[in-house]
Amino acid sequence: MLPKGFLLSGIHCGIKRKRLDLGLIYAQEPCKVIGLFTANVNPAYSVTFCKKNINNPIKAILVNSGNANCYSHKGGLKDTESIASKLAKSLGVKTANILFASTGIIGKKIPKYKIVKGFGELIKKLGKSAGNFSQSILTTDTFAKIAKAKVAGATILGFAKGAGMICPNMATMLGFIITDVDMNEALLKKIVKEAVASSFNSISVDGCMSTNDTVFVATSAKVPLKNKSQIKAFSQRLKEVCLTLAKMIVKDGEGASKFVEIEINNAKSSAEARKAGMSLANSPLFKSALYGANANWGRVISSLGQVGIKVGENISIKSTSLKKKEVKIIVDLKRGKAKGVVYTCDLTPEYVKINAGYS
């Protein structure tokens, strides 16, 4: 079951050859959406468009896959606004009530007319099934990424896509989380930022930051939270949903053969712990060693020093078997008391093959 107040659909409109490529999240009543976006200074037109609308009451979130809608021509933003305007007209709302996310190949003009032509079917197929929507947002993903939780009578349902160009903030990653919880907007924004920090912003597949990263958390505000205990429980469940989705992205990393958890202990601060973890998660040398099950810990020392983290001879580096599909590496910096965890995968020849032919 979906959270109260939402409907979903997904169709094939012709952006991709055969697979579903156009999705819609529809709010039966205007809803509040918290949005977090890529830190890339060359963002997709969709990201620029959404930043203008994110503080408005939202009726629909349109998603296309197969085309990043980014740096394709001078009229790209105008085309994006035109698509959103036509969807708004079809739904009887204003363009300001629409959000639009895109993922796929950068530099190709988005097929505006194919998308607009699909609106009739997209709206007609709105319903309470999540399957088609979850498939419509995928690109090089090998499986749909869905996570769900219940708390105090409310539902949290999350979807994500991503397998390559994964590096905070955030990744070539789209995340859509819908819920029916009713709570203070400022508090919700705080909770969302904390959840994203420990999940989507704590993963890396290849250290490459996309132009399209977007996470939306939309609420229909149907189920009020009655006390601090319920708010705390919601916060925890949201973190769990986000982390589950983030881990799925890493496990589906392009060409990946291993899921790797990197735990950093005894850093000077949580920021340093995260910096240390990401220095390893983004190191091609370190990730290649993981693929070869080669415990070459000199690459850990090198990566830490590269980001300005000086360690002593007493640094401790431990790991589970590097030959298994799930690996945990624990690095004790012995510089303080702070801790952090990041998630990554190995770097394989298959990753090169996938991206050498991706166009």
Q: What is the pLDDT of residues 74-110, one digit of tens each?
A: 999 999 999 999 999 999 999 999 999 999 888 999 9
Above 90 in pLDDT, residue 321?
Answer: yes
Angle at 256 between CA 196 and CA 339, to 5 degrees: 40
Above 50 in pLDDT, residue 120?
Answer: yes
Task: Establish if 111 belongs to a structural domain.
Answer: yes
Above 60 in pLDDT, residue 298?
Answer: yes
Domain boundary among 214, 249, 284: 249
109 and 235 fall within a common domain: yes
CATH code: domain of residue 117: 3.60.70.12
280 and 235 fall within a common domain: no
| Arithmetic mean of pLDDT, 339-344 | 96
CATH code: domain of residue 322: 3.10.20.340
Longest pairwise C-alpha distance within the chain:
66
Specify the pLDDT at position 164. 59
Q: What is the mean pLDDT of the chain?
A: 93
Interhelix angle for 228-251 vs 185-197, to 10°?
30
Q: If you count them, how many residues does the chain have?
A: 359
Specify the pLDDT at position 170. 40
Tokens of 269: 């601060």
Residue 80 designated active-site: no
Task: Establish if 286 belongs to a structural domain.
Answer: yes
189 and 281 fall within a common domain: no
User: What span, in angstroms and rounded, lies between the C-alpha atoms of 4 and 324?
Assistant: 42
Q: What percent of the chain has pLDDT over 70?
A: 96
140 and 226 fall within a common domain: yes
Provide the domain count of the chain. Answer: 2
Above 80 in pLDDT, residue 153?
Answer: yes
Specify the pLDDT at position 353. 85
In this predicted model, what pLDDT tens digit does every residue of 228-259 receive, in sequence order? 999 999 999 999 999 999 999 999 888 889 99
116 and 235 fall within a common domain: yes
Task: Establish if 266 belongs to a structural domain.
Answer: yes
Neighbours of 343 (CB within 10 A): 23
202 and 301 fall within a common domain: no
Task: Establish if 163 belongs to a structural domain.
Answer: yes
Domain boundary among 208, 224, 249: 249
97 and 194 fall within a common domain: yes
| Arithmetic mean of pLDDT, 24-32 | 98
Give the residue ranges of DSSP H helices in the chain.
45-53, 76-91, 112-117, 119-124, 131-136, 185-197, 228-251, 270-281, 284-291, 298-306, 349-356
Neighbours of 215 (CB within 10 A): 29
Task: Establish if 1 belongs to a structural domain.
Answer: no
Task: Establish if 285 belongs to a structural domain.
Answer: yes
Above 50 in pLDDT, residue 350?
Answer: yes
User: What span, in angstroms and rounded, lies between the C-alpha atoms of 34 and 217?
Assistant: 5
236 and 105 fall within a common domain: yes
Task: Establish if 254 belongs to a structural domain.
Answer: no
Specify the pLDDT at position 359. 58
Give the confidence band of 157 by pLDDT, cuts at 50, 70, 90: very high
178 and 304 fall within a common domain: no
Domain boundary among 249, 277, 306: 249
Of 291, 263, 258, 257, whose CA–CA distance to 277 is shortest? 263
Structural domain range at position 204: 6-249
Give the confidence band of 354 by pLDDT, cuts at 50, 70, 90: confident
Task: Establish if 169 belongs to a structural domain.
Answer: yes
30 and 80 fall within a common domain: yes
In this predicted model, what pLDDT tens digit does every residue of 158-200 receive, in sequence order? 999 987 554 444 445 899 999 999 999 999 999 999 999 999 9
227 and 94 fall within a common domain: yes
273 and 324 fall within a common domain: yes
Specify the pLDDT at position 166. 47
* Residue from 80, 140, 172, 214 carrying the catalytic annotation: 172
Tokens of 8: 């979903």
Of 56, 138, 139, whose CA–CA distance to 99 is shortest? 56
Specify the pLDDT at position 171. 41
Specify the pLDDT at position 71. 93
In this predicted model, what pLDDT tens digit does every residue of 280-293 receive, in sequence order? 999 999 999 999 99
